[in-house]
């Protein structure tokens, strides 16, 4: 059985004061034992999150890591081994905002995926189509190509300790959510693509849905057979809302 996972991507949000308030709210949540819960703050707040959430079941991840696993001369970057040293257990790789705004390519994010795993972090690989691509009927082709470039670079076995997040770009931060059926269709395609390489890996890998998930739509989304939880942006900045989403994942 795959354990459900809910991860809160705080993106570039937060001040010392708002993060302290959010962490204190998260620390008071009663979370279901059956769900792996994580928060992914801006790197500036990783230490604070790890200190404040110590003793809770909430894991802490990073939004990005360097292409190199080891520390070195690479100004402005953070090595995956440094994230592990800080206490992180996972890292986002290939979020659409990084692909689109920063210009992160498949080649770069494949190196980040490999560096993360070399350090013992679980990469959460984000893939998804734009509205234009969906309207052109290219969703499965685009998502399939994003996934296959990573499989080609790191090998199928790497997915035994990775998570994949399907995040349609048109649903991120827009209030538009993929319907449970639309999301399930893509999740099933992702799992069958992985199954072509290894049925066992495909059965075990967790596929998260991301894109305007809220407490109000989480139950239906998480009820789909190939949706194993969520990557939550905006709604993860409110502890009570995030807690409600985690409880929805526990049902
Ligand atoms: P959203 O973001 O929940 O605010 O749509 C999801 C994400 O980008 O991970």
Distance CA 159, CA 111 (A): 15
What number does the ligand 1 atom closest to the CA of 236 have? 3
Cα distances (angstroms) measured from residue 193 to each of 126, 147, 206: 16, 9, 14
What is the C-alpha separation between 239 and 244, in angstroms, rounded?
Answer: 9
**pLDDT value for 149:** 98
Query: What's residue 38's pLDDT?
Result: 98
Residue 92 CA: which ligand 1 atom is closest?
A: 9
Burial class (CB in 10 A: 0-12, 13-18, 19+), 34: exposed
Q: Annotated catalytic, 95?
A: yes
Which residue is catalytic, options 95, 104, 187, 241?
A: 95
pLDDT in 10s for each residue of the chain, 251 residues: 899 999 999 999 999 999 999 999 999 999 999 999 999 999 999 999 999 999 999 999 999 999 999 999 999 999 999 999 999 999 999 999 999 999 999 999 999 999 999 999 999 999 999 999 999 999 999 999 999 999 999 999 999 999 999 999 999 999 889 999 999 999 999 999 999 999 999 999 999 999 999 999 999 999 999 999 999 999 999 999 999 999 999 98
Q: Which residues pair with 36 in a beta bridge?
A: 5
Per-residue confidence (pLDDT) for residue 1, from 0 to 100: 81
In the 8-state DSSP scheme, what is residue 145?
H
Distance (Å, rounded) from C-alpha 85 to C-alpha 83?
5
pTM greater than the 0.75 cutoff: yes
What is the best residue among 212, 215, 217, 237 to mutate for testing ligand 1's pocket, by most ligand atoms within 8 Å of CB?
A: 212
| Atom number, ligand 1, closest to the C-alpha of residue 172 | 5
CB atoms within 10 A of CB 59: 20
Q: Which residues pair with 4 in a beta bridge?
A: 35
Ligand 1 binding residues, C-beta < 6 A = 9, 167, 172-173, 210-213, 231-235
Could you give the CA distance from residue 122 to residue 192 in angstroms, rounded to a whole number?
A: 21
Place of tokens 């520390």: 71
Name the class of domain 4-250. alpha beta
Q: Domain locations in the chain?
A: 4-250
pLDDT of residue 203: 98
Contact by Cβ (8 Å): 5, 57: no
């Amino acid at each position: 059985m795959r354990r459900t996972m809910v991860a809160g991507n705080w993106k570039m949000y937060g001040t010392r004061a708002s993060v302290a308030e959010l962490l204190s709210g998260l620390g008071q949540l009663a979370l279901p034992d059956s769900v792996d819960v994580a928060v992914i703050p801006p790197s500036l707040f990783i230490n604070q999150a790890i200190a404040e959430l110590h003793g809770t079941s909430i894991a802490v991840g990073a939004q990005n890591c360097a292409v190199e696993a080891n520390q070195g001369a690479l100004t402005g970057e953070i090595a995956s081994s440094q994230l592990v040293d800080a206490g992180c257990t996972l890292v986002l790789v290939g979020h659409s905002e990084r692909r689109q705004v920063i210009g992160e390519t498949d080649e770069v994010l494949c190196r980040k995926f490999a560096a993360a795993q070399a350090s013992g972090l679980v990469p959460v690989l984000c893939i998804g189509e734009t509205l234009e691509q969906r309207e052109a009927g290219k969703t499965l082709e685009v998502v399939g190509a994003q996934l296959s470039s990573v499989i080609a670079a790191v090998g199928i076995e790497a997915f035994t300790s990775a998570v994949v997040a399907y995040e349609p770009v048109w649903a991120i931060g827009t209030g538009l959510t993929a319907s449970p059926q639309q999301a399930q269709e893509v999740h099933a395609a992702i799992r069958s693509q992985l199954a072509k390489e290894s049925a066992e890996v495909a059965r075990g890998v967790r596929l998260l849905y991301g894109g305007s998930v809220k407490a109000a739509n989480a139950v239906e989304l998480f009820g789909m057979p190939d949706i194993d939880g969520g990557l939550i942006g905006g709604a993860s900045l409110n502890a009570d809302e995030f807690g409600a989403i985690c409880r929805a994942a526990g049902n």
